[in-house]
Amino acid sequence: MTVSVEVFGQLLPGEERCYTLTTDYTNEDPMKVREAALLLGLKPEEVGLITINGVQSEMDDPVPSDCRLCFFPYMSGG
* pTM of the complete model: 0.89
- Write the CA distances from 20 to 45, 48, 70, 77, 78, integer angstroms: 22, 21, 12, 31, 35
pLDDT tens-digit readout, 17-65: 998 988 887 767 789 999 999 999 999 999 999 999 999 999 999 999 8
For residues 77 and 71, which has the higher predicted lDDT (pLDDT)?
71
CATH class of 2-73: alpha beta
Which stretches does DSSP call E strand in the chain?
2-7, 18-22, 47-52, 55-57, 68-73
| Residue 16 pLDDT level (bands cut at 50, 70, 90) | confident
| Residue 77 pLDDT level (bands cut at 50, 70, 90) | low
68 has which bridge partners? 4
